[in-house]
Structure 1
Amino acid sequence: MKKMQKGFTLIELMIVVAIIAILAAIALPAYNNYRVSAAEGACNAEAKAYMNSAVAAYMSSMTVPASPGKACTTVVTLASITGNESFTPKLPGTKTTSCKRDSATCAKPGTTP
């Protein structure tokens, strides 16, 4: 009686590795785009929240704190109510968020409010 060998052939293993490589080639660029948009969105949310509280404090003649700088690399302290503020996201984000000081209106990253 012959012994049956169990296992995978080299061709089967090479096919599995090729399929995994193709899936990784598709998934990694999408994942990187997700990381970039998440960093920009987090900075946009932080900028909007800071501008809302800073404008309210400035209008009430209260002390205006500096922005927390957790999602954005730019730390801002509101000194006047005119003009715009720009917030730069931490890496891997690249597009800055611009906010109007007078209305605390922030635009999507890369656009103007």
Structure 2
Amino acid sequence: MSQTTDTAAAAIKAAITENPVMLFMKGTAMFPQCGFSARVVQILTHSGVPFKTVNVLEDPELRDGIKAFSNWPTIPQLYVKGEFVGGCDIVTEMFQSGELQTLFEQNGIAKTAAT
């Protein structure tokens, strides 16, 4: 592994360790820059759980690093309690089936106050 890859991996590990619900995406939660990222933000917002995001477009090293870290070729990528959940299709399917909400509950991720 190169020094840069190690740095990206360390940043990714820190982000998913420190944030119970972590989304690596293109753009920001307020301004997603791809439809798939926008959809996952919409699902997380609808689910009412607090989440943090990292804009991979701001850091090419991180964008490549997250793909290697998860062994998953696409972005967005959702992590819950440090575990890789999946990308847009998987998150959408889990949301529609109720599995995503169950995953949040099992991991003790409380919904924020209703808006």
Question: What is the TM-score normalised by the length of structure 2?
Answer: 0.27
Greater helix fraction, Structure 1 or Structure 2: 2
Flag the structure with larger Rg: 1
Greater strand fraction, Structure 1 or Structure 2: 2
More RCO (CA 8 Å, sep 6+) = 2
